A and B are shown apart, each in its own frame.
Chain A
């Protein structure tokens, strides 16, 4: 089982430290997203990178539409990895939906996590007037999925047929793999639904693990109001508004991302030693 999990989720462990630091990618890509940030923590941490089942170089045979119909299936991936590597009190760093997946995992088994660091988290993308503004109307999200369909997932069957009918042209597969972070289109559609149409606002109050919210300026996906909302509901949460714009500060502003995470971890370590 342990070995299976490590292969299933394409788990990669590096770093010289003993304390585990788990990096969880968001929707649409894989562990490569952490390429500019994760190495900075290898000196002091045991750095753990992985792909969710259905993403990156995970084992697609392990994918089940039922298990991964909502984010709890993905949270189970995280807990399985903790179990396989015997992780306790980890620093969990999640991007976007990866943060919510971490939240769900931490509710299920808080002993695995010491801190949650969340980049651009959103517990609910849909607006829920009058009190909650997720930033999206239903039509917006349907438009997004429509755009995914036009780009890739809508043509998946045709593309795979083209590939199967042209075994002498392996470059077709190569191109396809490169074109969308090798995400399987069926999985992509279901992951998109699980991500964008979920509402985990009620789960926030059950989080006991302290957290840091890294909010980007001008993020079209997770607006500032959402970051502030999370900060107000999550107990023991810290909030930092980044200079970084967009939704991928770990790619666009890796230095700032690294600095804010390091500062936070240092401050809580100091606090702990003061208290201890």
Chain B
């Protein structure tokens, strides 16, 4: 071997396709701490670590055969003492006198190997952390979704409860409590402005007789039908409610006395005209319209007085509170 190559500042080794070591320079031999005759003619496995032997078969050999060169491959050599020597290796496949040689140069990369190991370790840790972070974010997302679902369920439930709380079970109209609230808010909304507000109170005439004669089931059906009729007669912004027993109420926002009486009369007429089956049914109606100084309770008591007057006046009629003689 050329002396310059023999002592070059890199290892040189030439292999045949059986991976037999044909030539090896002094630099590499001394790096491995062998004598020339101990390695020449031997299989490359002699100077490879366990992992490198496999790696050589899996990567080095196919590459040098198929691509005729190998560049910057990291493997580990095994010195005579068994010590591992990480090296970087370049190889090319060359033909000389009709034979093929896989010529390799290599140099130790002990320190670089340490750097790279440290970098790889750091990278693995980062990857691991990123994976964990991703997993945690996914878990959080899942929890957030669950929370949202639960919240929506809760909102729906609350909405259901709210409806139940303000609805009269038998007629499906608003109940007394809700009527009270609606009346307060309607008055608050309109009393300040110039919009009139009216209230109708309605009572089914001789309802006790219906119950007594035909039974409570029939009585309930009459109440339900009355609720349906009232719903039908009320406008979108009106609030129809069961006031209690056989008594009903209708809040009429933006409605003056004249209009309120018209509506009341129409309802009374419809009730009288409706087919109630076994007996005729009529209602008495008391109406009141908000005037300055009124409160929701004064308005209710005026309407109540008017209803009383309708009852006393012979039932099946409408009376407005402002027409009562004081």
Contacts and interface: CB of A to CB of B under 8 A. Distances in A.
A29 B57 contact: no
B195 interface: no
Q: Closest 8 interchain pairs by CB?
A: A143-B51, A247-B57, A220-B53, A251-B65, A28-B58, A144-B51, A150-B74, A147-B55
A245 B65 contact: no
Interface string A37-62: 00000000000000000000000000
Contacts of A27: 58
Interface in A127-165: 136, 140, 143-144, 146-151, 154, 157-158
Question: For chain A, what secondary structure do more than half of its interface residues adopt (helix, strand, loop), or is it mixed?
Answer: helix
A145 to B, nearest CB: 9
Question: For chain B, what secondary structure do more than half of its interface residues adopt (helix, strand, loop), or is it mixed?
Answer: helix
Given A35-B66, A252-B61, A154 B49 contact: no
Given A33-B62, A151-B73, A252-B17, A146 B57 contact: no
B45 A220 contact: yes
Contacts of A28: 58-59, 62
Contacts of B67: 178
A151 B72 CA distance: 8
Given A32-B66, A144-B54, A181-B62, 5 more contacts: A140-B50, A144-B55, A151-B55, A175-B71, A248-B65
A246 interface: yes
Contacts of A178: 67
B3 interface: no
Given A150-B74, A154-B120, A154-B123, A143 B59 contact: no
B19 interface: yes
15 contacts: A27-B58, A28-B58, A29-B62, A140-B51, A144-B54, A144-B58, A146-B51, A147-B51, A147-B52, A148-B55, A150-B74, A175-B71, A220-B56, A247-B57, A252-B17
Contacts of A157: 123
B147 to A, nearest CB: 30
A144 B49 CA distance: 10
Contacts of A147: 51-52, 55, 74-76
Interface string B174-210: 0000000000000000000000000000000000000
Nearest to B20: A245
A179 interface: yes
A180 interface: yes
A260 interface: no
Given A147-B52, A252-B18, A245 B43 contact: yes
Contacts of B74: 147, 150-151
Interface in B252-300: none
A270 interface: no
B57 A220 contact: yes
A225 interface: no
Interface string B111-154: 00100110010010000000000000000000000000000000
A19 B117 CA distance: 51
Contacts of A140: 50-51, 54
B10 interface: no
A140 B51 CA distance: 6
A146 B124 CA distance: 12
A12 B123 CA distance: 39
A157 B116 CA distance: 15
Contacts of B117: 150
